[in-house]
Structure 1
Amino acid sequence: MLKSLKIREVDRFPGQVTCLAHVANANKIVKQKLTERQLEMFKRTVFGRFLDIELVFNNPLIHHMLLWEVKNSGMDSISFFVRGKVVTFSKDDFLLITGLWRSLTRVGRSEESSHELFTKYFGSRLASDTFHLHLLEEEYKELVFENDDDAVKITLVYYTEVAMMSKNKQKNVVDRTLFDDVEDIDYYNSLDWGTIIWQRTPDSLKIALKDKVGLYKEKMRGNKNYVVKYSLRGFPQAFQVWTYKILSLIAGNVATRKSNVAIPRILRWSCSHSVSFKTLERDIF
């Protein structure tokens, strides 16, 4: 089985992973920004449940898992050889962990959407081709909302872009269409977000270490302490929680199980710190 690994054991290298789904920071900003009533309203939206996530992104754990990816994973899944068996992270796993199942009720989009929300709060300040995510975040912190509904809708766009879509804050511009979609909040909540976000997740995991072995060997010639750095799109927090599930030794060592019944399942775990790669190698893998 070891021969089917994408990266041979002798070719493994140290890595530092950055998660572009900025959930923890977005949660902090939203909780500081919204009133108690607005927070309760936001929690009833499609992403409101994620305000209760208590996870530090454990980049050594993610990197360790990726080093054990097997070749020829499925088109819509990714597999690993862990503790003597092949395990597969699939879309169903992702949906169970996030709870982002597609709504059984299809909601048609209102025809009244026409950039009104964007224009009201941002139109006079920033052109769409320069409205990068870091500017959205800066502007969001300073906004004065006219009413609670606007507060929730603007927050939902901010949270989608910064916490859920895993974009580069400095390089990616805000998707203006989200402001139109969110004007009809029932329509926005009914969109197939599970599929939208899932599609970004395995694709990012599968290409994360592409060509990194050669890069590491080249850089090591001039710097023995070189560490490969890369980032992940999608929603790798779901992958992290899935890893907790499949590694029976994880509870108490890397993460804490808070509940056996919380929905979605991502809320069943908490993690306040990252465990070192060497500790994972010794105690878990």
Structure 2
Amino acid sequence: MVKSKSPDIDVGKMYFSYADHFPGRISSMCKLSSVIKAIEEKLTKRQLTMFKKDIFGHFLECRSFSFSGVILHNLLLRQVAHEEDSREDQLWFQIGEHLIRLSIVEWCLVTGLSFGVDTNKKNDEMEQRLRNTYFGGVHRKINVKEFDAIFKELKFEEMDDMDALKIALFYFADRVLNARKNHCQINFDWLDQVDDTQYFRKRPWGLLSWEMIYESLDNVLFEKDEKFKKTRLKNPDHNIEKYNLYGFTSGVQAWIYEAIEGLPSTWVVKMKNKIPRILQWKPMASSRINFAEVYSFFNDESRLGDVLQTLEPNSKESSRNYWVSVKDYLPSIPGWVLKHQPSINVMLSAPDDYGVYTNVGNENLSTPTSLYSFYGDVSGESVQVFSEVPPGVSKFGRAYIPSYVYNSPYMIPPIRRRQNVRPLPRLQILEHAIDMSMTVKINPLRGLKDSSMFAEFDRWFTGDSRVRRRVQHPRSFFQIILGTASMGWLGDEHIHEYLRLISEKERQYPNALLQRVTHTDTFFWHTMSKSMTDVDMLLIPVNLDGEHWVLARVDFRKNKVWIYDSLITCRDDKRYRLKFKPLEVIFSRWLEYVGFYNIRPELRSADPWKVIVVRSTPQQEPGTGDCGVFVLMVTMYLMFGLGLEFNASHVEYFRKKIAVDIFNDDIVL
């Protein structure tokens, strides 16, 4: 099955390039925890003991197995194409630089369900006693949701214990292993078959559940990338693709936890060594996990623990029926896996961190996660609201994380880091100083006097082998800057790289600064509490709703945050206003927390912070990916005290200038 427009995806290549990755919200039809809870609540003590000793009894320990759709979605984005003759028994995914396999082997080891040849009974061989006795007869139609309600209304204490066991076994099989939408009819064949408990127990539930989850995983993202792009063109507010997963999704989660070691404890906790392996894990609440966090973790070799390509049985598992049943069906490792080069999947930048979690019911954050961790929720009653304040901010700034974690709205995918790569720049503190020997007239629009700089870049970009020079970034990096790939959306590394050049230019021409001002990287830094005390103003690249760059100018003397948004006219003022409310309270508390006012006590004020949008900000063309370009230009103009006298017609030139400046590792003023 092909998941993109091209039907000829090379073996070993991800179906979706990084540039085509998108945030998703999964609704899982599998209700493992709720089904276990219902069984424990409804069955009598004796009936529950009987269930515990039967084929699905071990799952009673999974009463707190939260669904983590964000992790599962990030896995599905990384599925790689493989040979047709191996498609029936295994799926392959790339995590960092590693390939991992999900096959019937891993499935049985994780779930404890057996494999084998299925011998399904014919309809005329099956009894329908349970249907006639408890569920209204053979002519009554019952969907999944209705059966949930019926199960909870049955009087199990008045029921024959064996009938109670049979109904509970069917309930688990149909609601967990065969999980479907609520409106689907229950599997009446299974309900009839469970009356013959010996036959029901011998069925290869590992195979039956594997077939359904395989089909669900392998088809679920088919053409979802194109659907996401088309919908987004029609509706710019569309920032997440929703879809359903069927079958035993909890088993897939448990396999991920087994295959990828070192997952953060805020995602999942390993309780103790148990078999089958699903019993070892306790997933954390999905609201603690967001798309960008998982995306960056899966791409970061320095944070990944051991990544297991396949799972192997331990000594205890080797004697279990589920392993004995599957060991003769072991799929071989395809030859292409042994020859696989991870670099085949290093592509252009990918959209990321849309500020939206991938599980139903989660809410977007309104403030930096670092600030929330200090102070918790903030009451809106204590906050003043300004009519000038702009629409829908779901994230303001960044949490305290190393900048190698690509926590951005438009991500540059991972490339193996060499030890000699230039380290990320620290926050640059710049004091106003007069040096008449280094005066400079700054005009970013006047063009380059030396056209050879443009010409050399053009030759290198088009592949001229005669251009002999070392360039730090690949051509794909510059394609995005020039707007020829990924809609021209700049990622953290583009923003970061140009801010580094601005910092170097500030040191070269310190007298060009008209005020005590500095800027941050695309992340808040641990050292900020010290460095901010030397300046009166701070410029911060920020993303709104994870899909749009803006610039925040923090004025420490006036207790104001000015927002430079190149798409103000496209935003809903009410949403914007409400989302900014908590920030006006929290920012001052954050400055207290990092010790800012201990060094600058004269700036401490009882007045609340105010967030104001600068309506005169130059505006980009709606529907373009030019926001990052505007952020860089506004930053440079403000740093050097220039009026914001440019507009959307200058974007093409600015893109070329940014590319050439980075190519030459110097900004030409």
TM-score (norm 2): 0.40
CA separation in 1, counterparts of 2:279 and 2:114?
Answer: 16
Query: What displacement does 1:267 show?
Result: 0.2
Residue type matched to 1:209 in 2? Answer: L
In the alignment, structure 2 segments of 5+ residues that lack a partner are 1-9, 300-669
Query: What displacement does 1:66 show?
Result: 0.7
Write out the 4+ residue segments of structure 1 that deviate beyond 6 Å after TM superposition. none
Residue of structure 2 in register with 1:156 after alignment? 169
Asked whether the 8 Å contact 2:127–2:193 carries over to 1, the reply is no
Partner deviation per Cα, 1:58-104 (whole Å, 9 max, x = no partner) = 00000001111111263121101112021111110000001112489
Query: What displacement does 1:204 show?
Result: 0.9
Query: What displacement does 1:2 show?
Result: 11
Within the candidate set 274, 279, 283, 2:293 is matched to 279
Residue of structure 1 in register with 2:206 after alignment? 194
Partner deviation per Cα, 1:30-80 (whole Å, 9 max, x = no partner) = 111111111111112211211211321100000001111111263121101
Within the candidate set 226, 240, 247, 2:239 is matched to 226
Which of the pair has the greater relative contact order for Cα pairs under 8 Å at 6+ separation? 1
CA separation in 2, counterparts of 1:21 and 1:176?
Answer: 18
Query: 1:51 aligns to what SS in structure 2?
Result: helix
Residue of structure 2 in register with 1:78 after alignment? 91
In the alignment, structure 1 segments of 5+ residues that lack a partner are none
Residue of structure 2 in register with 1:265 after alignment? 277
Moved more, 198-207 or 173-182: 173-182
- Aligned pairs for 1:117-266 (under 5 A) are 117-123=130-136, 127-128=139-140, 130-145=141-156, 146-170=159-183, 172-221=184-233, 222-250=235-263, 252-260=265-273, 262-266=274-278
- Residues 175, 13 of structure 1: alpha-carbon distance in 2 compared, 3 angstrom cutoff: same
Residue type matched to 1:282 in 2? Answer: S
Residue of structure 2 in register with 1:63 after alignment? 73
CA separation in 2, counterparts of 1:123 and 1:5?
Answer: 49
Residue type matched to 1:91 in 2? Answer: I
Within the candidate set 38, 58, 61, 1:49 is matched to 58
Asked whether the 8 Å contact 2:91–2:103 carries over to 1, the reply is yes
Asked whether the 8 Å contact 1:17–1:63 carries over to 2, the reply is yes
**Which has the larger Rg?**
2
- Residues 113, 216 of structure 1: alpha-carbon distance in 2 compared, 3 angstrom cutoff: closer
Asked whether the 8 Å contact 1:256–1:271 carries over to 2, the reply is yes
CA separation in 1, counterparts of 2:245 and 2:43?
Answer: 29
Partner deviation per Cα, 1:2-28 (whole Å, 9 max, x = no partner) = 981100111111101111111111111
Query: What displacement does 1:114 show?
Result: 2.2
Residue type matched to 1:9 in 2? Answer: Y
Residue of structure 2 in register with 1:91 after alignment? 104
- Residues 284, 103 of structure 1: alpha-carbon distance in 2 compared, 3 angstrom cutoff: closer
Moved more, 204-213 or 229-238: 229-238
Asked whether the 8 Å contact 1:21–1:235 carries over to 2, the reply is yes
Query: What displacement does 1:176 show?
Result: 1.7
- Residues 40, 245 of structure 1: alpha-carbon distance in 2 compared, 3 angstrom cutoff: same
Residue of structure 2 in register with 1:30 after alignment? 39
Query: What displacement does 1:239 show?
Result: 1.5
Asked whether the 8 Å contact 1:251–1:257 carries over to 2, the reply is no
Query: What displacement does 1:284 show?
Result: 4.5
- Residues 16, 137 of structure 1: alpha-carbon distance in 2 compared, 3 angstrom cutoff: same
CA separation in 2, counterparts of 1:93 and 1:165?
Answer: 19
Query: 1:81 aligns to what SS in structure 2?
Result: strand
CA separation in 2, counterparts of 1:81 and 1:103?
Answer: 29
TM-score (norm 1): 0.90
CA separation in 2, counterparts of 1:235 and 1:257?
Answer: 20
CA separation in 1, counterparts of 2:12 and 2:28?
Answer: 29
Query: What displacement does 1:213 show?
Result: 0.9
- Residues 40, 251 of structure 1: alpha-carbon distance in 2 compared, 3 angstrom cutoff: farther
Query: What displacement does 1:207 show?
Result: 0.8
Which has the larger share of helix? Answer: 1
CA separation in 1, counterparts of 2:12 and 2:168?
Answer: 48
Asked whether the 8 Å contact 1:18–1:232 carries over to 2, the reply is yes
- Residues 3, 200 of structure 1: alpha-carbon distance in 2 compared, 3 angstrom cutoff: closer
Asked whether the 8 Å contact 2:29–2:179 carries over to 1, the reply is yes
Query: What displacement does 1:244 show?
Result: 1.1
After superposition, the CA RMSD in angstroms is 2.5
The sequence identity of aligned pairs, in percent, is 27
CA separation in 2, counterparts of 1:11 and 1:204?
Answer: 21
Partner deviation per Cα, 1:220-254 (whole Å, 9 max, x = no partner) = 12133431111112222122111112222215242
Residue type matched to 2:222 in 1? Answer: K
Asked whether the 8 Å contact 1:2–1:8 carries over to 2, the reply is no
